[in-house]
Structure 1
């Protein structure tokens, strides 16, 4: 099977987004919801800016070292991700105003600590065990998947119960993971999820994530799995990996994989 997705945000003509959840339950815009989540979780503006700067620095360094080359398909003259910014420091990020709520109302999320709205596509191939043995190539074995629901007013937390359920099904703990790819929709949201999972943020997206590389919605789930493949299989960075993403409307999806040969 082939699985993947594509997003062409730059050509979208939709004047406003479709509903994520019934209005009676709450259907906030994602930026506003991330801002509220950061406040409720006690994630400071300083932590968000530091995490965002880290994501850009890691992604730029990985890109410039050719770390993404084996997973990127050139399109026309575009042969590398264009969004990661070099020299995006905490001091520069600190100058940006909150983008979704005024600072006087507790707003801390800025354009700099939010993912980019990007075009993108990604795809993976899924085969059965017999086919994998016949091909004789390394890959990732899917150990567990999970989908969970949370309060649609705090959709960014959706990946937390999904990740917990997937790890439980796989018989693993956070400490067993070698590579962790959480979709970086907003720095405050990722940090709130890390805190809830008792996961050190320094272990997440160690080559940069969506804050630097962008979040092409229809492709982002497959992008996370490609990132796991590159790090676990191509780079040989351990045995177990977790990919997880939160979805508008209060959903979360997670997958636990194991490198296999």
Structure 2
């Protein structure tokens, strides 16, 4: 079987909805990333696969590829698995390489909540099952898995400190391709007083609940993508494999509890590969809500020391379809900083109760 490896990874700075990146459509966010990653390999790219959730519709991947100046022969595929769309695109590209369909793919996601033409979210589930908004679903996860407000706030504070410290150390700099004059995540332009914010924040989605604006992510714009290649082809082009695709799993849970959906997916991967959480050196689980992270960490016995080590969406933001690719970009660079790392894993829980998890070996 052919082996799929990631050899390049980049993202845009992440902007607040109606913030710094408000005038850029999803293809305009994705195009600079694609152009950067494709440099010198334009004629070898088999396809561009991008996740997108909030529109405007059409084949945004094809539009982005053309905007980036790729050859007309590079087609483009846009997919929607809600918040896990960017991760699914990388998973799909890896499978296409394993199956011999091609040797070189750009995969990731792009999202512009600011320019979305949709006034409300799409339906996740039929009424007979229940179709809660993600915030209310985060409350359901907190209730079912006994995640307190205190533990959610504690995680949100830690995540913010990690993100801010990474920003101060310029760890994010190598990840980012500037958009116009913007090259820093908008949420990191000013230091927050997290203790005060967490203390005064009120429950947003349910009276007497535990999920607040301070322990939840915001709505954001951004894009990210990676270059996935067949390993021998990558080496022949003088490129260094960093992450090797090892395995993946998709799981389904009740739409009331999307935040816990990564758990069965991760368990399946670990069992199939005869691994335990102790064997995984770096883990990224999308920080849509603190309740989700705390519940997943508790259920899987994940120590926070190896989970989202540079913070995540709670601080820099969650541009839906791009977040999975941002997580992989984070792992791509962190694995290089940690020479002893052997395994890295990324997972997301999505609207409708879908969990996607992908396991990589550090090369």
TM-score (norm 1): 0.94
Say whether 1:2 aligns with 2:106: yes
RMSD: 1.4
Say whether 1:93 aligns with 2:198: yes
Residue 188 of structure 1 corresponds to 291
Are the aligned partners of 1:138 and 1:233 in contact in 2 as well (CA < 8 Å)? Answer: no
Structure 2 unaligned regions, length at least 5: 1-104
1:40 aligned to which of 144, 154, 163: 144
Are the aligned partners of 1:37 and 1:188 in contact in 2 as well (CA < 8 Å)? Answer: yes
Deviation at 1:86, TM superposition (A): 2.8
Deviation at 1:170, TM superposition (A): 3.0
Mapping for residues 214-225 of structure 1, pairs under 5 Å:
214-225=317-328
- TM-superposition CA deviations, 1:70-102 (whole Å, max 9, x none): 111101121111214634333430211001011
Structure 1 unaligned regions, length at least 5: none
Which stretch of structure 1 is more off in the superposition, 148-157 or 229-238? 229-238
4+ long deviations beyond 4 Å: none
Aligned length: 257
- TM-superposition CA deviations, 1:88-135 (whole Å, max 9, x none): 3334302110010112xxx00000100121101000111112113323
Deviation at 1:64, TM superposition (A): 1.6
Are the aligned partners of 1:56 and 1:86 in contact in 2 as well (CA < 8 Å)? Answer: no
2:268 aligned to which of 160, 165, 168: 165
Say whether 1:129 aligns with 2:231: yes
- TM-superposition CA deviations, 1:136-190 (whole Å, max 9, x none): 5141001111100001111111111111112223332100111111100100111
Deviation at 1:219, TM superposition (A): 0.5
Are the aligned partners of 2:111 and 2:222 in contact in 1 as well (CA < 8 Å)? Answer: yes
- TM-superposition CA deviations, 1:181-213 (whole Å, max 9, x none): 110010011101111111123421111111011
